[in-house]
Amino acid sequence: MAKHEGETFQHQKAKADVAQACMQAGYTVTLEAIGEGWRADVLATPSNSAKGQIAFEVQWSPLTLDECVLRQRRYAADDIRGCWLFRQPPRELVRHTDAGRMLRARRDLPLFHLWINADHSFAVSLNGVLIPLGPFVAALLQRQIRFCDQIIAAANQIVRGAFLSIPCPHCGGMTAIYHVQARLLSRCGIAFTPDEAWLSPAFAFHPRVIAAARAYAETHHYHLGKLARSEGGEFTFHCVRCEGAISYAALNMALYGTHALEQAYETDSFEVRMNDAQTPNAHVPHWCYSHQNTFCAL
């Protein structure tokens, strides 16, 4: 591959690796393809049709989001799918999560973060997981990567809960409650927090969670009060002593800003296996990667 002025060896190698992956997937490859207002580093064309072309752009230097969107629209005007691999993604798309820096997904802009490994090979970051560049390109060509505007929980989950004691807002006595971590796995393997709060019936008051919590309480000497609806109709915990309903506000206040909950998960936690379709979902736009076509959206 001829080196263009200003391009580094690594930039050239990344483009060559993309081209090789396309050819191994059975595509015809055109390097530095030129069209109406666009120029693609690698243009991949299915061997049996001129339709279904995809243009790969390996973007080594910074590029504004607006310029990227403009170029993507030019590809779309020629019925070409685009895929952008950025060494330095536009800052407007970067978001910080518990899993580190991730990119905001946009349906109109398949844009991914390209990383250089210590052995000078390349990987693409997708939902916090690094995928080798070749397999990533192959998955994209085989339509194993699809944009989904929401995350759907997988049917089988393991949910963690933990016990702790808090003062009753009515009588002041200590009463036991349990907290459930609202962290699930999506169909495509992403860890996420559902839109519903941790106190929703899908979590703290799911029948399986209640059964597991009561069993744990009996063997670990926690005195758990009744779990029932309050006068306001909300399902909540009740004090073991006075049976007063503990409101969401009181529960959150007791848990907020303390290390008690973190310590509880280290010493007094239990697990529940959930295997029904009632687990909640979340509105999280993302690029869904699935080998078995079990995407988060149909």
Confidence of residue 288 (pLDDT cuts 50, 70, 90): very high
Confidence of residue 224 (pLDDT cuts 50, 70, 90): very high
Q: Which residue has the higher pLDDT, 280 or 222?
A: 222
> pTM for the whole thing?
0.76
pLDDT for position 282: 84
Contact 178, 81 (CB under 8 A): no
At position 294, the amino acid (one-letter code) is T
pLDDT for position 276: 65
The overall average pLDDT reported for the chain is 88
* DSSP symbol at 202: T
Contact 252, 197 (CB under 8 A): no
% of the chain surpassing 90 pLDDT: 56
pLDDT for position 98: 57
In this prediction, residues 49-53 reach a mean pLDDT of 81
Architecture in CATH of 9-146+285-289: 3-Layer(aba) Sandwich (3.40)
Q: Which residue has the higher pLDDT, 276 or 147?
A: 147
Can you point out the beta strands (E) in 47-173? 54-59, 81-86, 94-97, 100-103, 111-116, 122-126, 129-132, 145-148, 157-167
How far apart are alpha carbons 297 and 288 in whole angstroms?
9
Q: Which residue has the higher pLDDT, 123 or 255?
A: 123
% of the chain surpassing 70 pLDDT: 93
pLDDT 10s digits, 255-285: 776 677 888 888 889 999 988 656 667 888 9
Confidence of residue 19 (pLDDT cuts 50, 70, 90): very high
- End-to-end C-alpha distance for the chain, whole angstroms: 40
| Burial (Cβ within 10 Å: 0-12, 13-18, ≥19) of residue 182 | buried
Contact 291, 184 (CB under 8 A): no
DSSP H/E element including 120: none
Confidence of residue 201 (pLDDT cuts 50, 70, 90): confident
pLDDT for position 3: 47
Q: For CATH 3.40.1350, list the domain ranges present in the chain.
A: 9-146+285-289
In this prediction, residues 157-166 reach a mean pLDDT of 90
In this prediction, residues 188-192 reach a mean pLDDT of 85
Q: Which residue has the higher pLDDT, 199 or 36?
A: 36
Which among 205, 286, 214 has a CA at the least distance from the CA of 248? 205
pLDDT for position 279: 62
Phi and psi based region of residue 44 (left: phi greater than 0; alpha: psi -120 to 50; beta: remaining): beta
pLDDT for position 267: 87
How far apart are alpha carbons 212 and 180 in whole angstroms?
12
Write out the two tokens for 260: 């008690």
